[in-house]
Structure 1
Amino acid sequence: MDESGIRYDAFLSYSHAADRRIAPVLRQGLHQLARRWNQVRALRVFQDKESLAANPDLWDTIDNALRESRFFILLASPEAAASPWVGREVEYWRQQRDQGTFLIALTGGEIVWDEAAGDFDWARTTALPESLRGWFSTEPLWVDLSWARDEPELSLRHSRFRFDVATLAAAVHGTAKEELDSEDVRRYRLATLVRRAVAAALTVLLITVLGLGVRTILLQQQTIEQGQQALSRAVAAKSELMGDSDPELSRLLALAAWRVGGTAEAEAAMSQAAARPGIGRIVSGGSVEAVAFSPDGKILVTGGEEVRVWDAVTRRQVGEIFTGQGGPVRTVRFSPDGETLLTAGQGVPAQLWDIKTGRPSGEPYPKDVSAPWDLIGSITAAFSPDGASLVLGDAGHGVTLWDIASHTAMHTLATPQVDPFRRNMVSASVAFHPSGSSFAALGTDGAVRFWDTATGAQVGEPLPAHPGDNASIVGPVLVFSPDGTLFATGGTDGTIRFWDSTTRRPVGAPITGHTRPDRTNLAQSLAFSPDGRMFAAGSEDGMVRLWDVRTRNLLGTPLSGHTRAVTSLAFSPDGRTLASGAQDGTARLWNVAEHLQLAHPAIEHSGMLYALAFSPDGKTLVTGGDNGETASDHGSMEVCSHDGWDVCYIDHGQATVTGSGMTVLFYRPLDAQPPLPGPPRTLMLWDVAQREAVTDLPTRHRTPVLAVAFSPDGATVAASGMNNGEGGTTLWDHANRTPLAQPLSDELSAVRATAFSPDGGVLVTAGMKAGQEPTALMFWDAKSHELLGAFDAGDIVYAVAFSPDGSILATGNAQGEVRFWDTDTRQPIGEALKGHTGPVGTLAFSPDGTQLASAGDDGAIRLWDVASRRLTGDPLVGHTGAVYSLAFHPDGRTLASGGGDSSVRLWNVLARKQISADHLGHRQPVRAIAFSPDGETVASAGEDAAIRFWDVRAAEDVPAALCETARRTLTPEEWNRHLPGADYLDVCPAR
């Protein structure tokens, strides 16, 4: 194309009805990204509403703009697909230009590519005009912007939006996206330096002209700034100390610290506050004995001496207080349609209320409150799944099933008499099976009884679930799982048991560790998450613990914030929020989304995992591990263990240790036991969005994969490790999932590390030759697969990493050294960097290439200045074992680490502080960790064969996330109490 008449770098085509908001923001982002300090814009983009002059012939102007543009960017949506104007613009481009200059940004609807047909799947694609049918033979470049709707998201400061804009801009600029983004950062810093230099020059000039007067002013300004920074640090420390005791105020104080001084400590305090599970607390004024969410999740009800209704988002009271209870309410339940509230409690008959008016709906159940259980007993009640009936349990009347419409008792079911006063046993907890066909009651005798809903007949014999305690007033608790396959019971002995609903047999061992409840006034609090995979239990020690239902393992650390016993629990309908009520007079809301992730690990591999990597577009994850065999699989008593950096694997009765290259044979002959059935799943691809395995890449041998990498263009997957006693690296075509060549080995016994150069031209591997201790660093042509060169690294190398510009290769070795190598000359740069006291097994360059993070056996994370090759600041310390993996967030401010203590941690690099809780989802050491390219997700893999995905979106725009959670700003009174003497600032101005 003749570019002599080109005025625009890109033409923006869109539907005004659908994208009038996002189009100018995208145009502005393309203008700004990688703009030089002396440029008005980096790219010139035509957008009709912004670029058109007054012209009576609109199409002529658009026709001229199309003719004068190099690239076409379509904002794809159903509205754009139906727009005649967009259709005409697309048709012009198809006739006049080639497919390589046509870019797509999806803003609504769907785009589905059919690889087999070599075209879009037009039965499912709704966002593209029909005029594109048959034009493309391969999938064109497109980005998904359908998520970007709110103002904070439509900014280059939002990493995901920046990532997508950079993808489009890189195509128009004709450069790699990583280089473009790095160049943008470099130019921003250069512009900042220029501005600072100009400001400094002006300051010197002013001082020269004005003399001591200006010097005095500057000293005063410096004193003010120092005071602001000191106040910022003090308020940040107060926020951290407050923690989840008052999470709302803690968040607001962290924001205040940042607004006042903008210190690194304030930034770390904000990140820590955003990472805590506590959302907020509701002060009810008395012991909170019961909590319940409405079916739509918008309302939270608390019960106690009073029943109050709260907005679940703002945590503000709404509506009237439900009065006239006559005693503590210990049961609150919403009807399935959310229009009616059921309350019951100690000395309190069950009552239905209109949730909108706060008025009783009909008479109480039962109408006559008899003396014995009025004084001692406690009514428990539950709605049937269809909302047509109630089941009530009490000491005076046993268990009763009521028809709500007629207000009549359908079945009255007696329970055993337990004392000389001929009182019935207290049915401490009642619940309907989710199918509604039956209901159950758990009494103070520790037995569960079941009845048929239709006939009222008892089903089977009582099930002795817990030791009896008829002297207890409140008794044990019973809850069904949402699908009805399980039910859980909590006894007065402090244990929790799971039972099969069909066989009524226990499932697994009892859960222990909870404080025994107070038998005089406290029932144990239990709740299943809506998906049935997570289980919450409250305790008298004020803690809430979350458990994996399948494994019965504790998920994360207990939720702490209550100062007295937890009495009640309820999950929101989406399962992401947990409400807890306690005797300290508060109800608390907890973000349990991370715990929910802990209950959903991805497990498809045969054995331990050692490596993972995201594809450049963030859609695919590749993982590598070993074959899952053990010595016992071959009948041998010989021991083969995984010890730190030396990975031992079993293959058909042969044990190999990668650290030393040594091979050991078991006593039992190799043919004494047959191989394990089926191919080993040592290398797998995952769909990141669905969190599901796509396929495994079958290896020719039962091969432990120790390192994986994607090429920068995402077309190639490299997998390195051990090849049945031989080391090697296999290259795979990502799209076709087929090997590209024979393994790259050169007689290696093990390859421990591999990395592509940033331009994708070179693959470097670090491996050991048979019988030799030092590692061979090998450079391979990534296209031809030819060996470009090799040299002795001088020691066993466990980690390699390229700098972002590709000029430096960093290695970490068994002697605790970090070395820099010139990638052109393949010679070391300066002396080895020393500081670690054990092997260095992981390295990560910051995105701008100015810092290198290293870690290893000593558990300390060290940061090095690349230019000076010196340590910067104190090491990051917190892991209680070796640190096996490091990864920088795309913004360079956050570092993630995975270690031998089974934890995943996030760190603020500038403040040198841990800013997350210890993510303890793995049951074994975490061997690999990586950020997704958009920075929203951390993936981790460990020796427990599990892959876990951690949502870290709160780190995208921490101030906005804190304000969104707090739902308010600091009041002037709170400001004066915590920041006395400082001028008031609105920490959440949008609120």
Structure 2
Amino acid sequence: MTPEPATERGAFEAHPPFDAATPIRYDTFISYSWTDAAAHAGALDDALRNLARPVDGIRALETFLDRSGMRVTEALWLEMAGHLDASRHLTLVASPAAVRDPDSYLSREVERRRGTRGADELTIVLVKGRAVWDDSLGDFDYDAKDNAVPPGLRGAFTARPHLIDLTSLDARTELNLSHAPFRDACLELAARLHGEDPRTLRARDQSERTRERRRRRRMRSASSLTVTALVTAVLVLAGTAVYSKVQRERTQDAHRKATQRATQARADRLAARAGSTAAPDLRLLLAAQAVTTAATEEALPVLRAAVSDDVQTLLHPGAGPVRDVELSANGAHVAVIDGEGGVSAWDTTTRRRLFGPAHLGAYAVRWSDDGALLMTAGRDGTVRFLRASGQSEGEPRRRDGAREGGAVALSGDAARFALAPPGGPVTVEDRAEPAHVTVLRRTTGPVRLSFATPDSLVVGTDLVTLPGGGTRALPPTTGPVCSQLVQDVYGPVAYDAGHGSFVFAEDHDLFLQAHLSAYGGSRTAPEFRCASGEKKLNLSLSGSATTVDIASTGLVAAGTGEGLVVLARLDRPPPSPKAGVADLIAAACAKAGRTLTPQEWRNLMPGLAYAPACRSAP
């Protein structure tokens, strides 16, 4: 072949050494000029490989054709020379371009072939130009116009060589085996390469083509049967898949409905359990779990009712009925005395026990306004002061006024405390200077003590200004309910001037029945008025109330005979009727302040994985 552009002659060795023992691997080597004969060379290569090709064979002849079109280099020429030496025959595709470039691949290939194996096994296929044979010279006329025979063949022939003329064929449309002139020319060349008569080769080619057509018909028939079988199989599989899918969906739907019914039944059971549970925190947790399981018509009302309940949480301070409960003024802490006189303190926000129970034999407990200091009065007459952490503040004091059934009070700044034993005198003592004791009038029975200000003490219904010792009666009430509450000191009742409310217990219910508000007067001698009113707090106690208290923030604490302390918030708005399920569950979890323990879960829902609705305490 002839690349463009050519390399100058002499740039590398023109003829590598020839090894006569080189084995023959190709039937023919097709040499051509890339410039104007590439299409003819390619068509010849395809035709020689396929003419008379056996049905079960890959090709009829082994040919070599370099289709790369790369320029001449030493390495490539050595490779081309090796392929040429391994070819039994040379097919020269002649065109004028090869003659014009004496250093082309074609010229080199012709010269090497002549110098190694001679020109006997050579066929010239003329595709362009002319090849004029001069009988008088016994050679081609290399000086003729449009000569296509390379000059390297000058004097190489002893007889007229075999020549096939394809110059009349259109390279664009007629270089294929379906075109008879091209097919005849290729049969002529192939017959020479096979060493057969062209007619014999033609007959064998027709026979092989007939076998090929039959094979293709059989393949088409087999393919048709295969396709039919595959389509049938696909249709059967598709039908089976559709049927299986329908059956699977029906089974899944039935299983889903059964699971849904079981889930709804479990939710209804949890809701019923929540409705009958006395403990507010467990009632909230069960109601939230019921709605999380399934928001049924039975579960949702139970959850809404539990969230609407004013109960905030339950504390379990110790054994026996609660003897006393005291909230700090800011509602941050609550102190409790259990049935055995043990003192405990809790953080009302986190529900965390600050200390206790400290077994002090106490019967009364009071906080300073800031919740930093706690005063206890013991049945043995000992008065103690404790920090919120439970650490003692100063030395215990023995006082005759500290008797069980008596009243105690601590000023908001913790500077003074008051004691009133049943039927005994009311004494007021400076905490920093124990010798400074003020003795007020003797009481005729149990009274209620409360510091209105650091310098004024409410004794029953009287306001006493300290340290002068004078007394001032509260103004008359505007209604019988308020008057009765102020004077009734035997039932569990509490009032808070800062919040302006009275709270008392009756059986299992808590009532907010009057509002006390300060007006006029001075800080040391405020004047009060009492406006009647009535409101039942929306909560039910698990037992009868034994003691109640109220903080200025509106937090109410009630101790019960069952040893529980209930914390409730006044004036807390109920959940909106439009509140969603998620909002109700979140409110229930926040209000409960804890989650179901694994043991509670196993008791309530055995066999189910632990997945409480309230994941953790807020």
TM-score by length of 1: 0.34
Measure, in 1, the Cα distance between the counterparts of 2:498 and 2:458.
20
Displacement of 1:390: 1.3
Displacement of 1:506: 2.9
2:505 maps to what in 1? 538
1:590 maps to what in 2? 568
Relative to 1, partners in 2 of residues 1:269 and 1:206: Cα closer, same or farther, differing over 3 Å?
farther
2:457 maps to what in 1? 439
Q: Equivalent residue of 1:960, what SS?
A: helix
Question: In the TM superposition, what whole-angstrom CA distance separates every residue of 1:414-473 from its partner, at most 9, and x where no partner exists?
Answer: 416xxxxxxxx4453222233x3332323xxxxx55543122x3326xx6xxxxxxxxxx
Relative to 1, partners in 2 of residues 1:988 and 1:379: Cα closer, same or farther, differing over 3 Å?
same
Relative to 1, partners in 2 of residues 1:396 and 1:230: Cα closer, same or farther, differing over 3 Å?
closer
Which of residues 290, 294, 297 in structure 2 aligns to 1:261?
A: 294
On the 8 A contact 1:378/1:426 being kept in 2, the answer is no
Which of residues 541, 545, 560 in structure 2 aligns to 1:565?
A: 545
Q: Which has the higher contact order (CA 8 A, sep 6+)?
A: 2
> What is the letter of the counterpart of residue 510 of structure 1?
V
Which of residues 214, 220, 224 in structure 1 aligns to 2:259?
A: 224
Measure, in 2, the Cα distance between the counterparts of 1:574 and 1:537.
17
Measure, in 1, the Cα distance between the counterparts of 2:581 and 2:293.
20
On the 8 A contact 1:236/1:253 being kept in 2, the answer is yes
Identity %: 22
Displacement of 1:274: 1.2
> What is the letter of the counterpart of residue 291 of structure 1?
V
Q: Equivalent residue of 1:506, what SS?
A: coil
Which of residues 349, 356, 372 in structure 2 aligns to 1:320?
A: 356
| Greater fraction of residues in strand | 1
Displacement of 1:557: 5.2
Displacement of 1:569: 1.9
Q: Equivalent residue of 1:428, what SS?
A: coil
1:407 maps to what in 2? 434
Gap runs ≥5 in structure 1: 1-203, 417-424, 443-447, 464-500, 598-915, 917-935, 939-951
Which of residues 611, 614, 618 in structure 2 aligns to 1:985?
A: 611
Displacement of 1:253: 0.8
> What is the letter of the counterpart of residue 353 of structure 2?
Q
Q: Equivalent residue of 1:237, what SS?
A: helix
1:392 maps to what in 2? 419
Which of residues 390, 399, 410 in structure 2 aligns to 1:383?
A: 410
1:799-948 matched pairs, under 5 angstroms: none
Relative to 1, partners in 2 of residues 1:529 and 1:248: Cα closer, same or farther, differing over 3 Å?
farther
Gap runs ≥5 in structure 2: 1-238, 516-529
On the 8 A contact 2:376/2:384 being kept in 1, the answer is yes
Which of residues 581, 585, 589 in structure 2 aligns to 1:963?
A: 589
Question: In the TM superposition, what whole-angstrom CA distance separates every residue of 1:656-705 from its partner, at most 9, and x where no partner exists?
Answer: xxxxxxxxxxxxxxxxxxxxxxxxxxxxxxxxxxxxxxxxxxxxxxxxxx
Displacement of 1:963: 1.3
Measure, in 2, the Cα distance between the counterparts of 1:394 and 1:205.
93
On the 8 A contact 1:568/1:580 being kept in 2, the answer is yes
On the 8 A contact 1:545/1:559 being kept in 2, the answer is no
Measure, in 1, the Cα distance between the counterparts of 2:417 and 2:560.
26
Q: Equivalent residue of 2:350, what SS?
A: coil
2:333 maps to what in 1? 299
Measure, in 2, the Cα distance between the counterparts of 1:558 and 1:214.
49
Displacement of 1:275: 1.2
> What is the letter of the counterpart of residue 440 of structure 1?
V
1:446-845 matched pairs, under 5 angstroms: 448-455=461-468, 457-459=469-471, 501=474, 504-511=475-482, 523-528=491-496, 530-532=498-500, 534-539=501-506, 541-549=507-515, 551-556=531-536, 559-571=539-551, 573-575=552-554, 577-594=555-572
Q: Equivalent residue of 1:232, what SS?
A: helix
Measure, in 2, the Cα distance between the counterparts of 1:560 and 1:364.
39
Measure, in 2, the Cα distance between the counterparts of 1:454 and 1:387.
16
1:782 maps to what in 2? none
On the 8 A contact 1:287/1:582 being kept in 2, the answer is yes
Measure, in 1, the Cα distance between the counterparts of 2:335 and 2:414.
18
> What is the letter of the counterpart of residue 328 of structure 2?
S
Measure, in 2, the Cα distance between the counterparts of 1:254 and 1:229.
13
> What is the letter of the counterpart of residue 414 of structure 2?
G
Moved over 6 A (4+): 204-207, 952-956
Q: Equivalent residue of 2:504, what SS?
A: strand
Measure, in 2, the Cα distance between the counterparts of 1:955 and 1:216.
31
2:31 maps to what in 1? none
TM-score by length of 2: 0.52
1:102-117 matched pairs, under 5 angstroms: none
Relative to 1, partners in 2 of residues 1:977 and 1:411: Cα closer, same or farther, differing over 3 Å?
same
Measure, in 2, the Cα distance between the counterparts of 1:976 and 1:988.
16
Question: In the TM superposition, what whole-angstrom CA distance separates every residue of 1:861-919 from its partner, at most 9, and x where no partner exists?
Answer: xxxxxxxxxxxxxxxxxxxxxxxxxxxxxxxxxxxxxxxxxxxxxxxxxxxxxxx7xxx
On the 8 A contact 2:478/2:532 being kept in 1, the answer is no
Measure, in 1, the Cα distance between the counterparts of 2:544 and 2:536.
21
| Greater fraction of residues in helix | 2
Q: Equivalent residue of 1:386, what SS?
A: coil
